[in-house]
């Protein structure tokens, strides 16, 4: 008996049945962080349907078969918030078996730092809110966090509290080597404003003199030569970031 003719790869693919293995659903979720009045805040959306009806979540949704993860994240942000041209960085993949009560869903999370004014323009009293991030741990310990609205702490739906906590841990870890404040500050800013952003993200104070020395030695900043005006104290110099990069 003759050996069967070996299949070519094209022949194999033409006869392959993709239903041989069960397929989990794939989603993306985005933690959009900002600093407002020395408070770390995040954009959240109130769910209008089950599961977790009336609870808040990070913006996100399911990935289409004909798009990349980055394309899905950009599409869903535009659909849920109206925002585009947001610099997103992939954060982590969340795949706990019970993270979604509907079915097996794996989420690829993203995060972004966004200027407060862009997010404030989206706020309304019902569905889209900016909420304070309540972090129960110091440094880069990591773990679940809550949001604060109407003077009360709330758990986010699904495992979004864990996603948000991971985003906080990531940006705290990047403060020493990345220009984190770029998206959170005006084009020109003072060292005091930059220090305020760092202290808000870290949830602790930093030494003013050592912070200034470290920032100036980092070669991330460029002096503009312009000074503050209309202040009743010694005016501070304005700086810009040499190589803008949000994350």
158's tokens: 């699904």
Question: For residue range 154-198, what is the model confidence (pLDDT) as tens digits?
Answer: 999 999 999 999 999 999 999 888 888 888 998 999 999 999 999
Q: What is the pLDDT of residue 128?
A: 96
* CATH code of residue 207: 1.10.10.10
How far is residue 197's CA from residue 191's CA, in Å, rounded to a whole number? Answer: 10
| Cβ-proximal residues to 7 (8 Å cutoff; 6+ apart), any chain | none
Residues 170 and 223 in one domain: no
% of residues, the chain, pLDDT over 70: 98
Number of independent structural domains in the chain: 2
Domain extent for 198: 180-241
The pairing of strands 105-113 and 89-94 is: antiparallel
Residue 97 lies in a domain: yes
Residues 197 and 160 in one domain: no
How far is residue 45's CA from residue 6's CA, in Å, rounded to a whole number? Answer: 54
How far is residue 197's CA from residue 230's CA, in Å, rounded to a whole number? Answer: 23
Peptide linkage before 51 cis (omega within 30 of 0): yes
Residue 6 lies in a domain: no
Contact present, 101 and 84 (Cβ < 8 Å): no
* CATH code of residue 56: 3.90.79.10
Kindly tell me the burial class for residue 178, based on how many C-beta atoms sit within 10 Å of its own C-beta (0-12, 13-18, 19 or more): middle
Question: For residue range 59-101, what is the model confidence (pLDDT) as tens digits?
Answer: 999 999 999 999 999 999 999 999 998 989 999 999 999 999 9
Q: What Å distances lie between residue 110 and 94, 107, 171, 193, CA to CA?
A: 11, 10, 12, 26
Q: What is the pLDDT of residue 2?
A: 67
Residues 29 and 97 in one domain: yes
Entry pTM = 0.92
Average pLDDT over residues 21-41: 95
> Dihedral angle at the C-alpha atoms of 34, 36, 38, 39, nearest 10 degrees?
-60
Residues 128 and 190 in one domain: no
Q: What is the pLDDT of residue 231?
A: 77
């Amino acid at each position: 008996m003759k050996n069967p003719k070996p299949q070519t790869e094209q022949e194999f693919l033409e006869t392959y049945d993709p239903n041989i293995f069960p397929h989990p659903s794939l989603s993306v979720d985005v933690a959009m962080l900002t600093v407002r009045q020395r408070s770390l805040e995040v954009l959240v959306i109130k769910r209008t349907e089950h599961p977790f009806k009336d609870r808040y979540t990070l913006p996100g949704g399911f990935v289409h078969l004909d798009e990349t993860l980055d394309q899905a994240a950009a599409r869903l942000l535009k659909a849920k918030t109206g925002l585009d041209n947001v610099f997103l960085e992939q954060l982590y993949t969340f795949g706990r078996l019970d993270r979604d009560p509907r079915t097996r869903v794996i989420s690829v999370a993203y995060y972004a730092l966004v200027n407060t004014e862009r997010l404030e323009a989206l706020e309304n009293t019902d569905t889209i809110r900016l909420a304070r991030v309540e972090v129960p741990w110091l440094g880069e310990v990591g773990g679940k966090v809550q949001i604060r609205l109407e003077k009360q702490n709330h758990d986010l739906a699904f495992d979004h509290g864990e996603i948000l906590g991971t985003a906080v841990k990531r940006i705290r870890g990047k403060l020493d080597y990345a220009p984190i404040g770029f998206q959170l500050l005006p084009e020109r800013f003072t060292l005091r404003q930059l220090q305020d952003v760092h202290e808000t993200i870290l949830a602790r104070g930093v030494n003013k003199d050592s912070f200034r020395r470290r920032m100036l030695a980092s070669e991330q900043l460029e002096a503009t030569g312009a000074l503050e005006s209309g202040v009743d104290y010694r005016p501070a110099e304005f700086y810009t970031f040499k190589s803008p990069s949000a994350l």
